[in-house]
Amino acid sequence: MIKNKIHKYDFLIVGAGMIGCLTALSLLKKKYKVLVIDKGNLSIDDSRTLAVNAKSRDFLKNLNLWNELKQTQPIKNIFIKDYINSEELIFENKEEHMGTVVYNKDLLKKVRKILLDRKCLYKNIDISLEEFLQSKKVIISNKQIEFKKIILTAGKFFNNDLIIDKKTFDEGHISYVGFFNHTKNHQNNAYEIFTSKGPLAVLPAPNKSQKYSTFIYSSKINRNINFHSLISNYFNNTHGKIVLNGNINSFTITPHISSPIKNDLLLLGDTLRSIHPVAGQGWNLGVKDITTFVNLLDQYSIDDPNLYKFYYARRRVDSFAYLSFTSLLNSFYENENNLNKFFIKFGFQSLLNISFLRNIFIKQAMGRISLV
């Protein structure tokens, strides 16, 4: 039986993934009334890691989440190599770590538990967003819910051309993610190798042994890959003997950027944009979405049209910058012509020899400065 009492909320968040749940915590801290719904059962079968930059680490500390994570792995240096230049680039920062690797499921479990304890997270709720946007009302668990605004954080695979205008770029890439043990200590170092077939990144994974790492390899062609040979070929000297650990998961990369059909719908995280994983900044961009929006709430009311106007103005520029940079960089390495090789050598040597330029890249990767 449906109760007559109407429960009023400021925001309804659709999607209980990492960005949706962190958005909810950020808004709750600002004393807004928030409800999070998800069409799934909230099960977490996820072995992926997150590369958390320094700025995102500050964000998690502000929400009192960082010290709750028991398994973290700092990144001290980032080594960048390619098949064109003989030298290697080293990104390092003596003041603080370049970033930290954490397990996605560890953080997500903690965030969801907080929301479940506060009774503002509901699972197995499948709704019509078109009707929501018109009525701003819904019935959940026999309760009449009324809300002012919808935040959509349903992820990169969300498609509904009645709600969002989604433009995709550079289709056809596949990313492979896995873990491996090795006999040498990783020394808190991360690596990005630009091969002729696609970029290969290796990050130190949280593990007391210091001999456990994760990799992500992206390729344009769906082909049979001997991952043991691939990783051993590039990391035998730094990591020693390689032994793959567990399953290797794959997913399609479809870089995109989306816009809402109606102005009162807020898109965050991978729903707003997804980029090629070559830069390792996708999750950190989602955190910037949250902080940008929450900070704008200090200046504009929920009903002020300038709130969403300025949010999209700021986040689209940042999104396009990353989308263009990652797609262009990947394209340069995949297309082996003399002009591309010239630009790659020029950019690589500039970063290698101009410390000021290299420091800008380091600070930007850490989130200490922004592209916009």
Distance CA 352, CA 93 (A): 15
- Identify whether 211 is part of a domain: no
Q: What per-residue confidence (pLDDT) applies to 245?
A: 95
Per-residue pLDDT of the chain (372 residues; tens, 9 = 90+): 455 688 899 999 999 999 999 999 999 999 999 999 998 888 887 778 999 999 999 999 999 999 999 999 999 999 999 888 888 888 888 888 899 999 999 999 999 999 999 999 999 987 777 777 777 888 887 888 899 999 999 877 677 777 788 888 766 688 999 999 999 999 999 999 988 888 999 999 999 999 999 999 998 776 789 999 999 999 999 999 999 998 999 888 888 899 887 777 899 999 999 888 877 788 999 999 999 999 999 999 999 989 999 999 999 888 888 888 887 787 777 777 777 777 777 777 877 778 877 787 778 777 877 755
The number of folded domains in the chain is 1
Is residue 178 a part of any domain in this protein?
no
Q: What is the pLDDT of residue 222?
A: 67
In a domain, 226, yes or no: no
Helices (H), 3-103: 18-29, 54-62
> What whole-number distance in Å separates Cα of residue 57 and Cα of residue 75?
13
Q: Is residue 201 part of a domain?
A: no
Half-sphere exposure of 210 (CA within 13 A, CB side): 9
CA distance 19 to 287: 7
Residue 357 phi/psi, 5-degree rounding, is -65, -40
Let me know if residue 224 belongs to a domain. no
Amino acid at 356: F
Residue 284 inside a domain? The answer is: yes
CATH number of the domain to which 334 belongs: 3.50.50.60
Both tokens assigned to 318: 């940042």
In a domain, 232, yes or no: no
Which residue range(s) make up the domain with 331? 6-59+104-170+258-366
Cβ neighbourhood burial of 310 (10 Å; 0-12, 13-18, 19+): middle
In a domain, 198, yes or no: no
Q: Report the alpha-carbon distance of residue 268 to residue 181 in Å, rounded.
A: 35
**pLDDT of the residue at 361:** 73
pLDDT of residue 286: 95
Contact in structure between 352 and 91 (CB atoms under 8 Å): no
